[in-house]
């Protein structure tokens, strides 16, 4: 096999869960090959105030133990006035608001149940230049939830044309079409949704460590997402949605939703892009597109990846936690050059 490698400049993960407490101490270093990440706020309780956000950022920094990694912090969306929005915008490390439909995913019970109640806040966010990141699913049949939510995205993009609106972790070909329909919409896509379909999760023996929300969809959806990423679509960004849960919560009744991809994300992306002859577009997908869209200037950091196989541990264990990653116990074709 011909030796290949690529050096990425300041790769970013535009959608990351690090959890808190001992789980944070375990997972933060495992995502620190990135130069930074947009950190999700759906803790228990959710991160709703600048003070809570600052405290969480400090705990992340402590868990990183000096790694060159910038946490771009988000607040859990609630209806706020101008004074509160200005206070959030002026808080160091603040990136934007994450909107969850109430009860749609992990720790989202306090989310939005009536979009009309968010109107005043969204108009203010538009005026203040504050991005809105949205978990876009309805409460309908599980395979149709993203499709049904597209009408909400169209409403938001039309009603708030200056609002930077991100469709988070999209899973369908239909969602991709909105990127060409509305210039104020961008999107993130995960590693798992570039690779798997629902058949991989539940077509044979149930594979709980591949279960996530939104669930993986059809092959034609997976293929459309992959082609958009490989082609370097300027408003499609990598967001891992790496979402660790203890093994006991994944291999259990009521399996928790989330795929833990942090440790394998960059090597597997390099393998995918190289396999499809698109390695030259990986830099845009994992950094440049998002930097241009949001005006980010991440910490300078170079990560070199080479087509040397990486053996993925069966689990990561530390601080009394045990988390199973994607490709646990397997080998993937690329690895980070240490």
Residues involved in catalysis: 241
Quick check: 100 and 112 in contact, CB under 8 A? yes
Q: In 65-100, where does DSSP find H-type helix?
A: 82-89
Classify residue 141 by burial, with Cβ atoms within 10 Å: 0-12, 13-18, 19+: exposed
| SS3 of residue 187 by DSSP | strand
What DSSP state is assigned to residue 300? P
Classify residue 154 by burial, with Cβ atoms within 10 Å: 0-12, 13-18, 19+: middle
What DSSP state is assigned to residue 286? I
Beta-strand ranges (E) seen in the chain are: 5-9, 12-16, 36-39, 70-76, 94-99, 132-134, 165-167, 185-189, 236-238, 302-306, 310-311, 316-318, 321-323, 331-332, 335-336
Nearest to 75 by CA among 99, 59, 58: 99
CA–CA separation, 90 vs 108, rounded Å?
A: 25
| SS3 of residue 322 by DSSP | strand
């Amino acid at each position: 096999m011909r030796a290949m490698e690529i050096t990425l400049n300041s790769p970013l993960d535009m959608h990351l869960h690090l959890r808190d407490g001992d789980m944070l101490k375990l997972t933060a270093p495992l995502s620190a090959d990135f130069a930074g990440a947009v950190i999700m706020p759906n803790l228990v309780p959710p991160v709703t105030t600048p003070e809570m956000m600052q405290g969480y950022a400090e705990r992340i920094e402590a868990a990183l133990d000096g790694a060159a990694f910038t946490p771009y912090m988000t607040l859990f969306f609630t209806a706020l006035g101008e004074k509160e929005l200005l206070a959030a915008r002026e808080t160091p490390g603040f990136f934007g608001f994450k909107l969850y439909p109430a009860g749609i995913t992990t720790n989202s019970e306090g989310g939005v149940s009536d979009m009309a109640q968010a109107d005043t806040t969204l108009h203010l966010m538009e005026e203040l230049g504050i991005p809105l990141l949205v978990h876009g699913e309805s409460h309908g049949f599980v395979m149709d939830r993203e499709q049904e939510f597209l009408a909400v995205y169209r409403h938001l993009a039309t009603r708030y044309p200056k609002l930077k609106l991100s469709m988070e972790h999209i899973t369908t070909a239909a969602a991709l079409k909105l990127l060409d329909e509305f210039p104020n919409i961008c999107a993130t896509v995960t590693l798992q949704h570039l690779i798997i379909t629902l058949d991989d999760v539940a077509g044979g023996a149930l594979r709980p460590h591949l279960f996530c929300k939104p669930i993986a969809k059809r092959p034609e959806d997976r293929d459309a997402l992959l082609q958009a990423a490989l082609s370097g679509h300027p408003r499609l960004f990598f967001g891992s949605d790496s979402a660790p849960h203890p093994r006991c919560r994944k291999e259990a009744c009521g399996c928790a939703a989330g795929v833990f991809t942090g440790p394998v994300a960059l090597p597997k992306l390099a393998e995918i892009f190289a396999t499809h002859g698109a390695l030259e577009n990986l830099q845009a997908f994992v950094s440049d597109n998002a930097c241009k869209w949001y005006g980010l200037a991440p910490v300078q950091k170079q990560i070199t990846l080479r087509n040397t196989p990486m053996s993925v541990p069966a689990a990561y264990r530390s601080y009394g936690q045990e988390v199973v990653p994607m490709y646990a116990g397997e080998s993937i074709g690329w690895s980070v050059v240490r």
